[in-house]
Amino acid sequence: MVFISTQEKYQLNNMIENADIIFILSEVLQLLGWVFLPLLTLPIIYFLFSNNQFLKSLSFGIVNIIDTLNYYIGEIVKWLLPLMVLTISFSIFALSIFGKSWTKLFETSEYFHASIIMLGAASTLLAGKHVRVDIFYSKMNSISRSLVEIIGFYSLLLPVCIIILWNSQSFVRSSWMILEGSSEIDGIKGEFLLKTLIPIFSLLMIAQGLSISLRAVMHIFRHEKPLLPSNFDNTFINENNYN
């Protein structure tokens, strides 16, 4: 017969309660996702009803909100780069000179690295700095590029991000239920936070792809677009040249 102490019973009950709360929250978030899913068709609707004033105002506001959000996320995340470099440099210095190594310090650089990539990807997309296979695109006029952006969003970026988002639900939920930590005894107890970056990455990329698609439609119909920050390159989604 196995005896369980009062403290162990208390911890087990807390885990069960946490699991129930996490499950309910995940279901609510999934429901919200289904509610906002029709927004992804907004570029197509805008394309079909380009003269509708309500659609113009709605699209302008959505683009402004998404771009501002991702811009400031990128501005915050970029400061993790020097911290990551310092952390890695100190870890190497301490190990090679003094023979000292700290698991938490080593894992901190991994957390910085993951956060920079996963949270900064959408801001990089907004700035137009993702790598392109630029054989035909650079020779196209801005209207043709706009069409490429719209087609690319619906045929490539959106399906891939939805697959990542859908497949990550189960293991992120499980990770939160047990508040998963490092596999090392003295590691950071925040593995569940690291895994949460995966669905956040997908959501930010989908949102930014939607914004760029809306900008592309606005550009095709020569409608006013929200201006990007002055330190961004003057790409077709921000300029007033329609050649």
**For the whole model, what pTM was predicted?**
0.87
pLDDT tens, residue order, the chain (243 aa): 455 566 555 555 655 666 667 777 777 777 877 878 889 999 999 999 988 999 999 999 999 999 999 999 999 999 999 999 999 998 888 888 887 788 888 889 899 999 999 999 999 999 888 777 667 777 888 888 899 999 999 999 999 999 999 999 888 888 888 888 888 888 888 899 999 999 999 999 999 999 999 999 999 998 888 888 776 765 555 555 555
Separation of alpha carbons 205 and 37, rounded Å: 14
Between CA 121 and CA 16 the distance in angstroms is 35
Amino acid at 234: N
Three-state DSSP class for residue 231:
coil
If one counts every other C-beta atom within 10 angstroms of the C-beta of residue 201, the result is 21
Residue 189 CA to residue 182 CA, distance in Å, equals 5
| Alpha carbon distance 215, 222 (integer Å) | 10
Q: Hey, what long-range contacts does 145-153 have (CB within 8 A, 24 or more apart)?
A: 145/216, 145/236, 146/216, 146/217, 146/219, 146/220, 146/236, 147/216, 147/220, 149/212, 149/213, 149/215, 149/216, 149/237, 150/43, 150/47, 150/213, 150/216, 150/217, 153/43, 153/209, 153/210, 153/212, 153/213
**Conformation bin of residue 203: beta by default, left when phi > 0, alpha when psi is -120 to 50:** alpha
The dihedrals phi and psi of 222, each to the nearest 5 degrees, come to: 60, 40
- The 10s digit of each residue's pLDDT in 204-229 is 999 999 999 999 999 999 888 888 87
Q: Which amino acid is at 232?
A: F
Gap between the Cα atoms of 213 and 155, Å rounded? 12
| Interatomic CA distance for residues 18 and 179, integer angstroms | 9
Instruction: Check if the beta carbon of residue 36 is closer than 8 Å to that of residue 204.
Output: no
Query: From CA 73, how far away is CA 114, in angstroms rounded?
Result: 14
Q: What is the pLDDT of residue 1?
A: 47
Q: How many other C-beta atoms can be found within 10 angstroms of the C-beta atom of residue 33?
A: 15
Within a 10 A sphere around the Cβ of 219, how many other Cβ atoms?
23
What pLDDT sits at residue 80? 93
Q: Residue 8: what pLDDT?
A: 54
